[in-house]
Amino acid sequence: MIFPPSILRIRIKEQDSKGLGLCLPLFLIWPIILAIGILLAPVVLLAAFITWPKGTGKRLLLAGPYLFNVFCRVRGLRVKVKDKEDNVYISFS
């Protein structure tokens, strides 16, 4: 079972400032994403049905699950950038 990332950590520190540290609980937006998905499903299905003869219907139908897959696979992404003055850290877990 694949789960979307649950926590997003952001740390930004500049030389002359205290810096900013955020720990965003992404799991709180899971229900929102689910609700949006359920609401959009009939619209996407209808659009896919209409555009099926043109060949774009299949793409439209797969776009949702594939986008969700990309969102889930972001878990583990980590970016650290540091120089003399600034320090940026972003991590999905």
Partner 1 sequence: MSNERRQILEMLAQGKINTDEAERLLDAMRERNAGGAEQATTVTRPRFFRVFVKGEDEQVDIRVPLQLIRAGVKLGALIPPEAQAKISGKLEEKGIQFDLSNIKPETLEELIDGLSGVSIDVKDEEETVRVFCE
What residue ranges bind partner 1 (CB under 8 A)?
A: 56, 59, 62-63, 66-67, 69-70, 72-84
Strand partners, 13: 87
Nearer to partner 1, 18 or 84 (CB): 84
Nearer to partner 1, 24 or 61 (CB): 61
Please report how close the Cβ of residue 48 comes to partner 1 at its closest, in angstroms.
12
Name the residue nearer to partner 1 (CB basis): 42 or 76: 76
Place of tokens 């793409």: 59
CB of 62 to partner 1, least distance (A): 6
Q: How far is the CB of 85 from partner 1 (least distance, A)?
A: 9
